[in-house]
Every structure is written in structure tokens, then in C-alpha cells.
Amino acid sequence: MSESSSKKTQGKQNNKNLSGKAFITIFMVIILLPFVGMLFYKTDMSVEKRTAAPFPKLKTYDGKLNLKYFENLNDYFNDHFAFRQEMTTVDATLTTKLLNTSLNDDVIYGKDGWLYYSETMDEYFGRNVLSDRGIHNCAKSIKLMQDYTENQDVQFLFMVAPIKADLYPEHLPDNYKKGSDVNNWSKLLLLMDEMDIHYVNLHDAFHNDNRVMYHKLDTHWNDEGAAFACRTIENAVGRNAKDYTEVPYNVEKVFHGDVYGMLYPKGRVLDDNVVYSEGHSFSYVTNTKDTEDFNIQTSCEGKDGSLVMFRDSYGNALIPFMADEYKDAYFTKIMPFDLDLISEYNADVVMLELTQRHITYLWEYLPKMDAMLTDETPENPEQTEENSILRVEKDTDGRLIVYGTLDPEYTDDSSPVYIRITDSQYISDYEAFPVGYKKVGGEVNLSEEEAAAEKRIDKLFEESKYDKQDYQFGMYISPENLEKGECTFEIITEKDGVAYTSGNIYTYNNN
């Protein structure tokens, strides 16, 4: 082989080696970029309406080894690697445009580009409906809050915001056919009528209006829907709200849709919203960034009345319209419902607003208010050997929290929960919420006897057809309402027309 041929072969080999090294380098850069980019790339999870997975710890909060460390680490990288949202947006755009479907389990891609939140579909299809006992507990909770409110000469109103799929099903994919008409809302509606609960039926109001008043790319009503809801709500409490059908407006692309952000986290398409020619009159008392804040206080000159409104995300658009109607208003979306706010803000109207998928909040969260005395406790209840559990703890404000679990053998679907407290002077009966207490900040410390009772009742529910959550109860009571010294607690329930008592199930020393 000549010297020139050898040099050419050597050159080709060098070029081949350089090409190979360049390919490996480019490949490694592509592979490592999402991870190295985590040092400077900030993922904005707010558009996806969820919290990013935190960096995992080797030990759990109780000092034990975290056996899910590598699983948690995988979740962390999946949420934080650089350019994840850009790649997700490109993938979602191609999938929706070419296949007319969504690969995001939280988002349903409908006709004409309409988007629906998957979590609302249980109500639409009539899936995962609460049991009769569970729905009773929801209605009873509303009723007890209403009684407490009206006992203070304060007006009370409950409302459920309709889900988008219920009002505008024509934009759902063809295979989304409505199943049963029985869902949590329909079952709750029947019981609210039976219990004489004061509510406004926003479902009927929106169904009877031909306007499209929900967003195309969002879960909630638009400003036209919020104005309409406000007027409907105010009429229900005997007040006349401003009629926005008489106010000129433009439709402008100014709204960031929540479901759109879940599907296209880096997308830039804005949703239509109604923009009225007249602005709002109220002013913020709190340092409010936007109506997504948890606690908002407002004032409006020239108006009368004081409102306390417990709300969820449907209140975001509703707040400006409601705030215009009251001299003073306080809006909160912190759970559980804290009815101490009634006296704190001197309310003369109290409203509870939840959307359909949040009806279960009434089943999950124990409202914070002093339990009311009752004279409706059945006489001469039968003594039982039941497995009910009752505990008493002190809240941070000094009140007693009385809570526990009922034995389903002595509790039917519509049974109230009465707590009888006997101290050195009095026998006092209270009606408890049929809702359990969730301790914030960790597990409850149980004695050996209490732990054994807990295991016993857990086994009872495991071997039965009942859901333990349906048989929780709880209430708050001030120790000042009890005489000093030892007092005993008993639970009284009903089943099939017969009243039962647990007998003295707990002793508390009120010092």
C-alpha cells in the first residue's frame, strides 16, 4: 500500500471516529439535558392544577426507612425534568389534532375543541355514588349548619354549582353517553327537600336558560354565568342583584382555561370571556392577589348587609359580582367549614357553595361550630353490647372534640347521632354531625385499650357490607358548658324504629 493510500485510509478512520464521538456527544447531551437543565429550569405546576412531587426523604415523618424512596425519586424526576411541559404540549397538540383524543387522563377532548375535566364524569355517569347513609350524612350536615346559623338570626343558603357536562353534554365525545340519572346531586336534592334545607337550584336555573355560560377550555362558568348565578342566588335570599342582561358587553379572548393548561401546559390559546362595559364597585379589604386566594374580604360603599360565603373554585368568578351586593363580605375556601366566622364578621347572610364533585366534602370534613343541645333524643333507648368508639380531645382553641365510629348494627341509613353527656349536675343531649374528625398533623396516639377497640371495629367493617366512613361522627363543645369534674359520654342511635344506647362509653375529667 502506498503512503498516500495509507494517509487516506487513516483520514477516513479519523473522520469516522470523530463522527462516532460527535454522535455519542450529541446523544449524551440530549439524554442529560433534561436532568442537567433541572438546575436552571423552573417547572410551573400552577397551570396543571396540581403540586409537583417533592424531593423524597430517606426516612418517613415517624423516623422509619422510606421503602418507597426510589419510587418517590422517579415521581420527582418525572415532574421536574427540564422541558417536560414543552414536550407534553407538543405531544398533546399532535394527539388532539390528528387523533381527536387526549392522552391526559385528567382531560376529555370533546367536539369543537371543548375540554372537560375527567373528575367530573363520575357525577355525569352516575358512578361512585355515595351510599344512602353517606348522602344522608351530607344532608344532615347541611341541616345542622343551617339550624346553627338560623339560631343566631342569620339567613342561610346552600347551593351546588352544576358540572359542565351536565349542562352542555352535546360537546362530549360520541362514546360519552350518560348512564344513570342517579348521582350524588340527585340523591342530595331529594333529602334537602325532606329536611327543609334552604337551597337554590342552580341546575334548574342554568338548564332553563339557552345561553352558553360556561367556558369552552375551562371547568367553570364564565363571567356571564357568574353574573347570572349571582342574581339567582340573591333572589333566593330575597335580595335584588344587578341585572347584567341590561349591561353591554364584548366577548374577548382573555381567559386562561384550567383544563387547557392541564392538557397544554405551555399552550398560549386564550378562552373567550364576557367583558362587561361597566366595572365593579367593591374594594378589597384583604391584600388580595386574585380571586383564587383562600380568604378574601371586601367592602362596597352604598350597599347594606354582611355576607360570609364558604365556596370552592366556582367562587373565583362569582366573588366580584357577590361583593358588589354587600356592604361587607368575607369569602373563604378553607375546609372544614368554620362557622365561628359568622360572629367574627357579624354576618347576616351565610352561604355554602360547592360544585357537584365536591358534595363529598360534606361527608369528609367536620364543620367547626359548637354543638347544639337537642330535646329530640329518643326516650328509653335499649342498652346494647355495641362496638361503637368515642374519643375526646382538646382542640387548639380549648374546645373539646368528641368523635368516633358507630356500630352499623344499631344505626340505619337515616339515624341521627345523639351524644349524651352526664356531669355532676346535668344530663345534656347534643346532636353530633354524622362526619368524622380528621386530626391535622399525624396519627392519633391511642392507648392499648383504644387500639384494640379500633382493630375490633375495623374488622367488623371489613367483614360487612358497610363503609366505615359512613359511620363516623363528630362535634365540638366548650368545656365551659360542662360542670367541673368527671363526666361520662354515651351514644344514642336508631335502627328500624328502635333506639339504642352504648351506655357510658367514655369518661372525661373536665378540670
User: Residue 167 has what pLDDT?
Assistant: 98
How far apart CA 240 and CA 294 sit, in angstroms, is 27
pTM for the whole thing?
A: 0.87
Question: For 457-473, what is each residue's pLDDT tens digit?
Answer: 999 999 999 999 999 99
* Per-residue confidence (pLDDT) for residue 188, from 0 to 100: 99
- Phi-psi group of 380: left, alpha or beta (phi > 0 → left; psi -120 to 50 → alpha; rest → beta): left
- Exposed/middle/buried for 299, CB within 10 Å: 0-12, 13-18, 19+? middle
Phi-psi region of 111 (alpha: psi -120 to 50; beta: other; left: phi over 0): beta
3-state helix, strand, coil in the chain (%, to 5): 35, 20, 40
Q: Nine-digit cell at 105? A: 387522563
Rounded mean pLDDT of 273-294? 97
Contact 440, 369 (CB under 8 A): no
Residues 6+ away with beta carbon under 8 Å from 499: 378, 379, 380, 381, 382, 492, 493
Tell me: the pLDDT tens digits for 323-368? Answer: 999 999 999 999 999 999 999 999 999 999 999 999 999 999 999 9
User: Does residue 187 register a pLDDT over 90?
Assistant: yes
pLDDT digits (tens, 9 = 90+) for 140-162: 999 999 999 999 999 999 999 99
Q: What is the pLDDT of residues 415-450, one digit of tens each?
A: 999 999 999 999 999 999 999 998 765 566 778 888
pLDDT reported for residue 376: 96
Check if the beta carbon of residue 411 is closer than 8 Å to that of residue 386: no
pLDDT > 70 in the chain, percent: 85
Of 157, 137, 162, nearest to 198 (Cα)? 157
Of 69 and 139, the one with more pLDDT = 139
Q: Backbone phi, then psi, for 207, in 5-degree steps?
A: -65, -30
Q: Give residue-wise pLDDT tens across range 376-430.
A: 999 999 998 878 999 999 999 999 999 999 999 999 999 999 999 999 999 999 9
One-letter identity of residue 412:
D
Own/partner pairs, 424-428, CB within 8 angstroms, 24+ separation = 424/483, 424/484, 424/485, 424/486, 424/487, 425/483, 426/483, 428/373, 428/481, 428/482
Q: List, for residues 56-97, the tens digit of each pLDDT value.
A: 777 776 667 777 766 775 666 566 555 667 777 888 888 898
Neighbours of 232 (CB within 10 A): 18
**DSSP-derived 3-state class of residue 1:** coil
DSSP string across 166-201? HH-GGGS-TT-----S--HHHHHHHHHHHTT--EE-
* DSSP per-residue letters across 447-462: -HHHHHHHHHHHHHHH
Sequence-distant (≥ 6) Cβ neighbours of residue 475 within 8 angstroms: 366, 371, 401, 402, 403, 419, 430, 431, 432, 433
pLDDT at 279: 96
What stretches of 282-417 show up as alpha helix (H) in DSSP?
Answer: 315-323, 341-344, 361-364
Cβ atoms of 214 and 115 within 8 Å: the answer is no
pLDDT in tens, 220-252: 999 999 999 999 999 999 999 999 999 999 999
Q: Report the percentage of the chain scoring pLDDT > 90.
A: 75
Burial class (CB within 10 angstroms; exposed 0-12, middle 13-18, buried 19+) of 101: exposed
Strand segments, DSSP code E, in 295-452 are 295-299, 306-310, 328-332, 349-355, 382-383, 389-394, 400-405, 417-422, 427-432
Taking 70 as the threshold, does the pLDDT of residue 7 lie above it? no
Residue 451's pLDDT is: 87
3-state SS assignment for residue 327: coil
pLDDT at 80: 57
pLDDT in the model for residue 62: 60
Predicted pLDDT at 360: 98
| Average pLDDT score, the chain | 90
